[in-house]
Amino acid sequence: MVRYTVRHIDVQRCANCQTERFPLRARHLCGRCYYALRKLEQADQAVPQDVVKVYKEECQRRLDNLKAMEQKRKPPISGLDVESQLAWLAKRAGVRRNIFDGMASSIAWHFTEENLVVLYGLLSEIEENIQWAGVDWGRIYPVRREKRA
């Protein structure tokens, strides 16, 4: 369980998401951030010009998400943090309503501060291991349809 609490000052951090949990791949970035940045840089060749802008925004969104996920793992973790993460995972799993609504204080009551950190880390592990689809084309194609119309 020390995994979530030990801090190494001398460890090199990813220049984007600041993680110390993964080795740096290239250009001071961890593997995931490096992959997203490469996609961003290759956008001009990879996709038609009219969708390049949205495509780049999608890649930038991935970089921002990675950074946000990493920052959210840092202690202290509140009952609300755990509730929000559970709600996000439930929604992602196809649950239509928020079945964890209002459970933050109950969660905080039942778990110690250290328990909350470990629990949140485990839940966050699920989120970060959902494979990035590269780019959400559903967000891009409406742009193309508008332009054709």
Residues lying near Zn ion in the complex (CB under 5 A) are found at: 14, 16-17, 30, 33
Minimum CB distance to Zn ion smaller for 24 or for 116: 24
Structure-block tokens of residue 14: 């990813």
∠ at Cα 4 (1, 89), nearest 5°? 100
Closest contact distance (angstroms) between CB of 17 and Zn ion is: 3
Nearer to Zn ion (CB atom), residue 65 or residue 115:
65
CB atoms near residue 27 (< 10 Å): 12
Give the nearer residue to Zn ion in terms of CB position, either 28 or 53. Answer: 28
Nearest-approach distance from CB 108 to Zn ion, in angstroms? 30
- Compute how many other C-beta atoms are within 10 angstroms of the C-beta atom of residue 97: 9
Residue 20 CB, nearest approach to Zn ion (Å): 10
What is the nearest approach in angstroms of Zn ion to the Cβ of residue 123? 19
At 15, which amino acid appears?
Answer: A
**Beta-carbon-side half-sphere exposure of residue 144 (alpha carbons within 13 Å):** 11
Q: Which is nearer to Zn ion, 23 or 142 (CB)?
A: 23
Six-digit token string for 90: 């439930």
